[in-house]
Structure formats: structure tokens, C-alpha cells
Amino acid sequence: MRVIDSHTEGEPTRLIIDGGPPLGRGPLAERRQLFADTFDHVRRFAVNEPRGYDALVGALLCEPEDPTCTAGLIFFNNVGYLGMCGHAMIGAAVTLAHLGRIGLGAHRFETPVGIVSVELTGRNEAAVENVESYRHLKAVRVEIDGLGIVIGDVAWGGNWFFLTEFAPCPLVIGNIPTLTQAAQAIQYALKAQGVTGAGGAEIDHIEIFGAPRSPEAASRNFVLCPGGAYDRSPCGTGTSAKLACLAADGKLGPGERWIQESIIGSRFEAHYRPGERGGIIPRIGGRAFICSETNLWQDPADPFRHGIGGG
């Protein structure tokens, strides 16, 4: 399997260029389901130990169904599959430019949750115009052992998020274990108390906000991803969900800039325009850098040839 690794504002992406599973043609949502049902061992092989690690997000490059799209992308991580992934979309665009397959300007990509536009604005810079995002629930109260009552919103940004300004400690790198434990407790409580996204969808991302450390940023976040890893970037779909909540509260107007800072201090620059179905269309800009190009090998005699753990 040929892969190219990059990071977007600190968060890693592994793009599968060749050697992925034979998913055929058809809508990306159906191909993602085929991937999960028949070829999940390929996901584990590509991103889990001993070839990967918990924070690594994979992206499978696919032929698009829509002829106006440059490519299709299916996103996955150490435990399963994602609807969209903003940082990985930026990483994929920069990687395809590195390969000479795309140039500067706007490009359309299919994802399992819809078509996303990416504008490559420089060698290492791109901006994603995400799927329509919206707030589903406002000021949800969740009772959590050891933390008390936590209040937050539920929003869609390509994945489902619970967003809260409750922080048990300052949002700094040294507190990542404490923040992870709190976010996991919130996630367990949401499930136990029946709080979901639309249609009963699981809320698999927890986003905690605090004051920024940079004077240029509007806020700092800590994002717990499915599988227990934290997002090193400010999280593209999480920033989309945040913008949807700000727009719903009248705190951020169309075109107004929002700079989201991550737990490690990296930043996304974002703004939005109104959507067609009452939500917003976020635009998230950031930087990505190529880390390595490699071939992943699988030895039939290797007891961990399909990866370690991961569902």
C-alpha cells in the first residue's frame, strides 16, 4: 500500500494513494459502508499500531461518482469511520498538489456526507468549504459524576459534536490527561442519558472551549475524537460546529472572521455564509505539510498484519 503522510496544524493524515480496498463505484456513503463491512482489516492495517498510532486519521482516495469532482475521499481512524474530516481534507489537497495532480484554485471532493469544496491557496495552504452545518440542540444539561452539571450544545459540522465551555482545568498541553478524562466522562453521560444527534446519531466528538492564549484567536479548544485521541489541530468539523452555534446565537455574522486555536496553539481561520436549509456553510483555512512517503507492507506470517486493536 502506497501512502503519503502529512499533518494539518499538527494533526496527522495518512492518504492512501495505491493499494486500497476494491470498493468499485457508487455513492461514497455506500462505498464507506462496504469498506466497513468487508474491508475493515484494511483500515486497521493502515492506521493502527504497529504501522500507525491513535492520533492518525486515514483518507482513502477514490474515483468520484460526480464528474465535477476531482476525487472522492473516505475518512477513518483507529476505531472506525468519519463522515467528514476538515484537517484531512486540507492535508489531502496539499498532498495531491505535492503529487502534481491538482494546482492552485478551487476543487470539489466527494465525501460520504456530501460534496466539499477546497481552495488550494498556496503550496501548504488550503481552505475547506464544508457541508452545511447546524445546531441541533441548545443548552443541554448533562449530569456527570465528579463533574456535576455540564451544559453544552449539540451540533453537526460533518460529524456530531457536544460543545461546552465547561473546562475542569486550563486548556494547556500539560492538562491533556485531565481534559481527556473529563471529555470521556461527558461522552459516556450523553450516551447514558439518551442525548444524541439527529435521528439518534451517536455524538462521537466532545469539544471543550476556553480562553485563547494568542491575542489573535477568539477561543481555544480541546477536542476528543472517537477512539480516545485528542485533535492536535483546532478540528475542521468541530470549528464548523462552533460557527453554527455562534451563528444560531447571533454572536457571529456571515463573513465575520473567527480564529480557532487548538490545545497545542495551532490555528484555523474561519468564517461562514448562510446555507440553503437554515444552517451555515463554513469555510475553514489552515496549513498542511508533507511528512513522509512510504509503502506499507503486510507479511502473511505477521500475527499483527491487520493492526493491533481498533474495533
- Report the catalytic residues: 85, 235
Q: What CA–CA distance (Å, rounded) separates 112 from 97?
A: 22
Say if CB 12 and CB 55 are below 8 A apart.
Answer: yes
d(CA 172, CA 178): 10
CB 282 within 8 A of CB 240: yes
Q: Do residues 86 and 240 touch, judged by C-beta distance below 8 A?
A: yes
CA separation, residue 65 to residues 35, 94, 110 (Å): 16, 22, 8
- C-alpha distances (whole Å) from 257 to each of 124, 137, 253, 270, 271 are 21, 24, 9, 6, 5
User: Which three-class secondary structure state does DSSP give residue 73?
Assistant: strand
Tally DSSP H helices, then E strands, for the chain: 5, 16
